[in-house]
Structures are given as structure tokens and as C-alpha cells.
Structure 1
Amino acid sequence: MSALILALAAGAGIGLALGALGGGGSVLAVPALIYLLGFTPVAATTASLVIVTVTSATALSAHARDGRVRWRTGLLFAASGIGPAMLGGAVADRVPEAILTAAFALVAGGAALRMLRPRAAPDTVVPVRPGRAAAAGAGLGAVTGVLGVGGGFLAVPALVNVLGMRMRDAVGTSLLVITVNSLAALTARAGTVDGLDWAVVGPFVGAAVLGAWDGKRLAVKVSGRALRRIFALVLLAVAASMLVGTVL
């Protein structure tokens, strides 16, 4: 199968995840770029940030039109992660590839297990504690920078369970956080962008953007619990395969 077809198929699936779940795009993009398209881990994390930044911004606009973005909370959460994201992005290319891949697999596996045990979304809006939001945002930003992930697969549970946000609002607000954090981390890696294979990354981005629109419509028709469980099982399989790859 040609690289173009693989890029289009992977991009569509990743955009679908971002649009429907408010996260998970980069968690799937990195292994797809490494194992399907032959990118190195460092190049894959940089390309992932490009893909996720553009796709998340597109999906964000769709959720914002429906009033599903908590702008003040999202910006506070995201702003706290900008510094750690840029710092993590600057040191990522100094981490051995095997360690980077294993760390990514462990984070992805932990997120998948967390998604299989979701807590019920609160019925009322809980006031946001600035200190708690800042701490959660800083930790998420560090993960974004080092591992090349937008952080939505961690942001949604944090917004719901730590900050008391409703699930639908958490999905839209997560896209705001992902866009800001990914852009900050990408800025720190600006020197590595020129070396990307744009003949692959370009179609990947285009398919992801289209997939994000379909994901937004899918989120209305399928229950959030079913989507989370399906995604978590896929994520566990990806994490396991990456861990096996680092051992063998």
C-alpha cells in the first residue's frame, strides 16, 4: 500500500478521534507515522504536532459554534502549560529514541486504562480553582512538549474530574488546550519542521481536518461512553505494540 493511501487513511481516523472525543489524535498519529510511514520517533513527534495543531483548530471552531467551549477555563489551563510545553519540546531531541518510544507507550497505556474507568460527569458546574487548573495545565504541557502529543487524551479527564466540567464542554475546551499547547511545543521544534516529508504530512493533515468534521457529527449520534471504550481498546493495542517494539 502506498504511503499516500496510508497517510490519508490514518489522517481520517485521527481527525475522527479528535472531532468526536476532543483528544487522542496525537496518541494515534505518532505510532502511525513511525510504524506505517517510516518516520523516526523525533520526526514523528514533530509531524504529529503539525497535524494536531491544524486539526484541533479546525475542530475547535465547530464546537465553539455550538457553545461547547469554556474559553476562560481553557485559556487558564492552556496558558499554564505553554512554558513546560516549550521546555519539553526543546529537550525532546536529546532523549534516546527507545526511551521516547517506551515513555509514549506507557503514557498511552495509562490513559487507555483511565478511559475504561470513566467517572460520571457532574450535573452542575463546579467553580474552577485557579491553582489546581494551573498545576494540571503545567503537567499536561510538559507531556505535550516531550512526547509530541497534544494532550487531549489526558486533558478531557482532567477537565471533567479535576475541574468539574461537563463531558460535552470538556471535549470542546480540550480542543482549545490542545491547539495552544501543540502550537507552543511546535514553536520550540521549529528547526526540525523543514526536514519533514511534506508529501506525506500534507495529505495526512488534509484527511485529518475532514475527519474532524465527521467526528463532530458522530459525537452527537453515538454515546460518549461507547466512543471512549472503543478508543481506549485501540489505544491499549497501540501501546502494547510499541512496548513490544522497544524490547524486540
Structure 2
Amino acid sequence: MLISILGFIAALIIGIVLGLTGGGGSILTVPVFVYLLGIDPVLATGYSLFVVGISSMFGAIKNLQKGLVSFGTSLIFAIPAVFAVFSTRKFIIPAIPEVIFQNQSILFTKDVAIMVFFAILMLAASFSMMLDKKKKVIETGTDKPKTTNYFSLILLGVFTGIVTGLVGAGGGFIIVPILIFLAKLPIKKAAATSLFIIALNSLIGFLGDALQIEIDWTFLLSFSAFAIVGIFIGIYLNKFIDGAKLKKAFGWLVLVMGIYIFYKEMMM
């Protein structure tokens, strides 16, 4: 009972972070499912896709109303990404053997591989949050309209879809820089378009799981509801708290957690 309560509190915190910073909170969803609630890593990444997708959808709807979403860029990036994330969940994840490598002293399983890859992603996300690339883009004037590199956008859409499918994280820290540097979108439009792409990727990717495994909908919808409430709280608190500074501080938390997960899975 206590663990369940802590899990829902964590869902609320994840939503608040998403509302305050515009991203990053979803990177905590899988660790909460795996280490706090004891859910199998493969199932946890699937559940995370649903939570991230629903949460991002609320932000995307708000951005659509403001006219900040670039539909053309969204389709060019999202179509290959959606195909990749669905295929990853439906075909690649089930095809990975339960035991990848084993000898007398080492047992490297599918679950360990997923969590190690997730830890590496957390480390990358933490540096992205702490370095604050958005300011660098503003200073260098990179957000001026230029020719979009469509081929690279498609390839990176596939890559992002595979990563999203493997670890269940939205990948906003990957998508936003891609949209800025390759699609040449202004920063606000890149962030808004990213949420729209994340919502599509995550929810369609989740279908790859929903079609082949039994989902605890009562738990999943309850957890998502707490995350959504947290988003609205975060959006309200954003009026009083500097989101940029908070994002850097959150980056340090993600860094520590990434190191802990890597150590736990590889050394213990």
C-alpha cells in the first residue's frame, strides 16, 4: 500500500517537472516503475510510453491552439519515427533473447541491457539539460530560417523512434535540438512541435505492447491521471519559478540517478 502511494506521488512529481520545465520529467518514469513499483523493465518501458504520450498530448493540444506546431516538419520527422517505435515494440523487443550473454561469473540479461541503455540515455539527457543548448542557439542566431535537411531529418526520426521504443522515454532532449539545427525551427516552435511528435511516437509505440500483452489499465490510467494533474500544477508554478534554473538542477538529479542505475545493473 505504501509503495503504491509513493508511486502515485512520484507520478505527480513527474508531471510537475514536465509542467515546470517543458520536458525531462518523463525520464524518471521507467526508474519509478522498475525500482519503486517493482515492474518488469520491458513492461515498464511500455507503460512509460503511455504515460509520456498522454502527458505530452495535453501539452501538444495547448500548443496547437497557439499555432506553434509545425505540421510539415512534424510529419516528415514523425512518420519514420512512429514506424520505428511501433516496429521496435512489436518486433525488436520480443526478438531480444532473455539471456544475452552468460558465463561462470557474468549474466547479462535482456532486462539488464534495457536498464543499462536507459542509464546511458539518462546521462545524455542530464548533460543536455545542464548545458542549456537553447541559450547557445539564441546567441548564435541558429533559429533564423534556412533550408531544411529533410534526408537527415528522416534518418534521425528513425533513430529517435528506435530509442523511444527501446527505453520508453519521449526523447524530447534529442528531438528539440534536431528540429532546431536540421528543420531550422525557432526554439519555441521546436519545443511545441517536439511535444506533438512525442505524443504520436509514444502512444502509437504503446500499441505495439497493447496488442500482445495484458495491460493493467486501472493502474496505468490512475498513474497517468496523477501525472496530468502534476502537469497543470507545474504550469501554474511556472509563473513563480525559473524553469531554466530548475531544469539545470533537475539535470543533476537525472545524472545521479543514471549513474546509480548503471552501477546497480552492472556491478551488483
**What TM-score, normalized by structure 2, do the two folds share?**
0.82
> How far apart are 1:144 and its partner, in Å?
0.8
Map of 1:68 onto structure 2: 68
Residue aligning to 2:137? 121
Q: Deviations over 1:2-56 (max 9, x none)?
A: 2332232111122223334443243110001111111110111111111111111
Partner of 1:51: 51
SS in structure 1 at match of 2:131? coil
Instruction: Give distance in 2, aligned partners of 1:64 and 1:13.
Output: 25
Contact between 1:23 and 1:174, CA under 8 Å: does it hold in 2? no
Structure 1 residue 112 and structure 2 residue 126: aligned? yes
Change over 3 Å in CA distance of 1:7–1:201 after alignment to 2: farther
| Mapped partners of 1:227, 1:62: distance in 2 | 22
Give the drift of 1:83. 1.6
Matched residue type, 2:120: L
Tell whether the 8 Å contact from 1:15 to 1:211 is kept in structure 2 after alignment. Answer: yes
Contact 2:128 2:173 in 1 (8 A): no
| Equivalent residue runs for 1:175-190 within 5 Å | 175-190=195-210
Structure 1 length as normaliser, TM-score?
Answer: 0.89
One-letter code of the match for 2:34?
Answer: I
Alignment root-mean-square deviation, CA: 2.2
Q: Indicate the SS of the match to 1:69.
A: coil
In the alignment, what sits opposite 1:207?
A: 226
Q: Assess if the C-alpha contact under 8 Å between 1:115 and 1:229 holds in 2.
A: yes
1:236 matched to which residue of 2? 255
Instruction: Give 1:187 shift.
Output: 1.6
Alignment partner of 1:167 is 2:193:
no
Instruction: Provide closer, same or farther for how the CA distance between residues 69 and 227 of structure 1 changes in structure 2, counting only shifts above 3 A.
Output: farther
5+ residue gaps, structure 1, are none
2:169 equivalent among 122, 135, 149: 149
Q: 1:81 offset after TM fit, Å?
A: 0.6
Aligned residue for 2:116?
102
Residue 39 of structure 2 aligns to a residue whose secondary structure is coil
Per-residue deviation, residues 109-154 of structure 1 (Å, max 9, x unmatched): 1121132223323454433322232122121111011112221232
Letter in 2 for 1:241: Y
Taking every aligned residue pair, what percent have the same amino acid on both sides?
28
Aligned residues: 247
**Distance in 1 separating the partners of 2:235 and 2:164:** 23
Give the Cα–Cα distance (whole angstroms) in 2 for the partners of residues 37 and 191 of structure 1: 23
